[in-house]
Each structure stands twice: as structure tokens, then as C-alpha cells.
């Protein structure tokens, strides 16, 4: 019985994950080799300087990346601003995101765009991914390669956040109910 539940639950999760709309791109190492070959060094230098200014840089950048990837995939949509304050960053769960995370990405973007070869060629989504990798590494964790080629999102609404959040809560509740039903003896 438990095996059937695991199979059904796993199948359901795979179906759900595959049906969620996210930004898609062909990620690869060396994506910017021809257009901005020193992007990683530029981002790393900006992140190192920011991290020396305040210790909050590492956790706030990591949390920002998590919140960005949670909603529509890692597309930097959490960075978008809405004139009506209806963007992802205005959602009550995102309002508490520390400004240092945003500032880290802005400084890295300025550093990348200061190189004429790189100006307006590197996505903010990739800069956020690289900056996160670098703050994690500079905080003492292992270095890891980041595949690049993400496309920046152009949609950022609280409504999308609410929809995905409610769907995840619904899945969680359904999982608990299924486990409870499997654990209780059934009489026919």
C-alpha cells in the first residue's frame, strides 16, 4: 500500500512540477564567452566589495535568489518594480527582503555594464545567480560552477505569487490527508 502511495504521490509531483510555467533557457557554462568573457570576474569583484561593507549581504542575497526562483523560476522577476506596487517584491512575504540583497545585484549589474563589451548583454537573472554563488562562496562555503543563459522575466505580480503559494499549500494538505488515510485501518 505504501508503495502505491509513493508511486502516485511521485507521479503527481512530477506532473505538477512539469506543468508550472517557468522561464526557460538553454543553460551552459561559457554562455557569455564571446559577448562578455569576464562577467564572472566583474560580478565577483562587486560582490566581494559589497560583502566587505556589510555582513548582511550574504544571507540577504541568498534569500533574494530563493524568493526569485520560487515564483516563476530564476528569472529575476523579483527585481521588477510595479508603478502600482503589485509586483512580486510587494507581496507581504517579500516585503521583508533585505535591501542589501537588491543592492548587491544592482552593484554587480553596474560593474558588468561598466565594461563596454558587456553593456546590456548579461541578464539580471544570471547576475543574481552569479552573485548568490559568490556570496555563498565568500561566506566560507564551497565554490560551484553556475551555468548561464537565463532570460529575464518580464512579468512580476503578486497574483502569480498567491496562485503558486496556494497550490503548494493545497498539495501539502492533500499529502497529509493521503498519509492519514493510508495510516488508518479501512473497513469495507
Tracing cell 565594461 back to the chain, one arrives at 115
Active site residues: 67
Rounded to the nearest 5 degrees, what angle is found at the Cα of 83, between the Cα atoms of 78 and 85? 60
| Structural domain includes residue 75 | yes
CATH code assigned at 124 = 1.10.520.10
Query: Average pLDDT of the chain?
Result: 74
Q: Is 28 helix (H, G, I), strand (E, B) or coil?
A: strand
| Structural domain includes residue 174 | yes
| Structural domain includes residue 50 | yes
Whole-number pLDDT of residue 85? 57
Q: pLDDT confidence of 117, banded at 50, 70, 90?
A: very high
Specify which residues 148 forms β-bridges with: 28
**What total number of domains does the chain contain?**
1
* DSSP codes, 137-185: HHTTSPP----B-PPPP----HHHHHHHHHHHHHHHHHHHHHHHHHHS-
| Structural domain includes residue 66 | yes
Q: Is 79 helix (H, G, I), strand (E, B) or coil?
A: helix
pTM (whole model) above 0.75? no
Task: Choose the weakest-confidence range: 30-39, 109-118, 146-155.
Answer: 146-155
In which domain, by residue range, is 43 found? 31-181
| Structural domain includes residue 89 | yes
Whole-number pLDDT of residue 102? 80
| Structural domain includes residue 113 | yes
Amino acid at each position: 500500500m505504501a508503495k502505491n502511495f509513493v508511486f502516485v504521490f511521485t507521479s503527481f509531483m512530477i506532473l505538477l512540477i512539469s506543468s508550472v510555467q517557468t522561464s526557460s533557457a538553454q543553460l551552459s557554462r561559457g554562455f557569455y564567452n564571446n559577448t562578455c568573457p569576464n562577467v564572472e570576474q566583474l560580478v565577483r569583484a562587486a560582490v566581494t566589495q559589497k560583502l566587505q561593507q556589510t555582513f548582511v549581504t550574504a544571507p540577504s542575497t541568498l534569500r533574494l535568489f530563493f524568493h526569485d526562483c520560487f515564483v516563476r523560476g530564476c528569472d529575476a522577476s523579483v527585481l521588477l518594480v510595479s508603478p502600482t506596487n503589485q509586483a512580486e517584491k510587494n507581496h507581504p512575504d517579500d516585503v521583508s527582503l533585505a535591501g542589501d540583497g537588491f543592492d548587491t545585484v544592482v552593484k554587480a549589474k553596474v560593474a558588468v555594464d561598466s565594461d563596454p563589451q558587456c553593456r546590456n548583454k548579461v541578464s539580471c537573472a544570471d547576475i543574481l545567480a552569479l552573485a548568490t554563488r559568490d556570496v555563498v562562496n565568500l561566506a566560507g562555503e564551497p565554490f560551484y560552477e553556475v551555468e548561464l543563459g537565463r532570460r529575464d522575466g518580464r512579468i512580476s505580480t503578486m497574483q502569480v505569487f498567491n496562485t503558486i503559494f496556494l497550490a503548494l499549500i493545497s498539495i501539502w494538505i492533500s499529502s497529509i490527508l493521503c498519509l492519514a488515510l493510508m495510516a488508518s485501518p479501512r473497513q469495507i
